Structure 1
Amino acid sequence: MWLLRFLLFALIIFLIYTAIKFVLNPKRKLELAHEQKRYYFLDDKNNVRKNFLITYKGVLFEGEKYLGTTENAFEVISIFVWPHKVSALQGLVREDFLFIERKILEGYPNAKIDWKSPIKEFMKKEHPSETPFQK
């Protein structure tokens, strides 16, 4: 009888542990933020080889980090960022990409951020403050 109670207690503890681990899983938080079209940054700062994921306004971006030297240490000096689905970029504006860059630079202040196509071309375009038809 005691053995049965102990096994039942162990099963309950295991189920609680599994539920907590599921709720606190960063990948699940990323998927939830992606579905809700919120911002979420998933990154393992201790592993330079592991890419980071960002979701913003329903678009999933991936960033690849490259290690290099600064004046005092080895740090991430270059980051390439691209969207998983180019078709999901519809509706995003320049300020959205600048927001993402600011968030990346908070974690990697010495990094140069390079966007992959088609965002690269979009960010290089001149941003006129006045169109010829507004005169």
Structure 2
Amino acid sequence: MMVLLIRLLILIALGLLIHLIIQYFRSPDRKLQIAKTANTFYLADEPANSQKNIQFVYKGCLFEGEKYIGVTEKAFEVVNIDVSARDTDELEGITRDDLYFMENELLNRYPYAAITWKYPINKLIITPVD
């Protein structure tokens, strides 16, 4: 009887260990950190959950977007996204074309959204092109 109980506990521990390993590799925070060190674009989002913020990385800078729901012609959709940089020191090297790329990626996922860039990113958009 004791041997069966120990075997059952070992199986439960192995199942828990496998579950934790799978969660670790599927973690969006881990994927964001990998993309940040690799200087690539990665967007972590749950489109079905409108209350959860968007997080994305581009050129080593971590951005966060707040989604707001509104009414479109056919349904309730995300109609506004306010994007800000988590650390403004990481914005060095980001150009206007990079902002257009990120805005295009967000509009591909949320076609009815108006993207608003928060300070200091909005200053780059407002300044005239040379």
Given the two structures, how large is their TM-score scaled by the length of structure 2?
0.90
Aligned to 2:97: 95
1:108 pairs, out of 110, 113, 116, with 110
CA–CA distance in 1 between the matches of 2:9 and 2:21? 18
Would you say 1:20 and 2:22 are equivalent positions? yes
Partners of 1:71 and 1:6 in 2: CA distance: 56
- In structure 1, how many angstroms separate the alpha carbons of the residues matched to 2:51 and 2:10? 43
Q: Percent identity?
A: 39
Alignment partner, residue 46 of structure 1: 48
Which residue identity is paired with 1:52?
I
Q: Does 1:121 align with 2:123?
A: yes
Structure 1 residue runs of 4+, over 4 Å off? Answer: none
Alpha-carbon shift at residue 5 of structure 1 (Å) = 2.5
How many residue pairs were aligned? 128
What is the rounded CA distance, in whole Å, between the counterparts of 1:123 and 1:103 in structure 2? 17
Mapped partners of 1:6, 1:67: distance in 2? 48
SS of the counterpart of 1:75? strand
Q: Which is higher, the Rg of structure 1 or of structure 2?
A: 1
Query: Residue in 2 aligned with 1:72?
Result: 74
Residue identity in the other structure for 2:6? L
1:113 to partner: Cα distance: 0.7
Structure 1: any 5+ residue segments left out of the alignment?
129-135
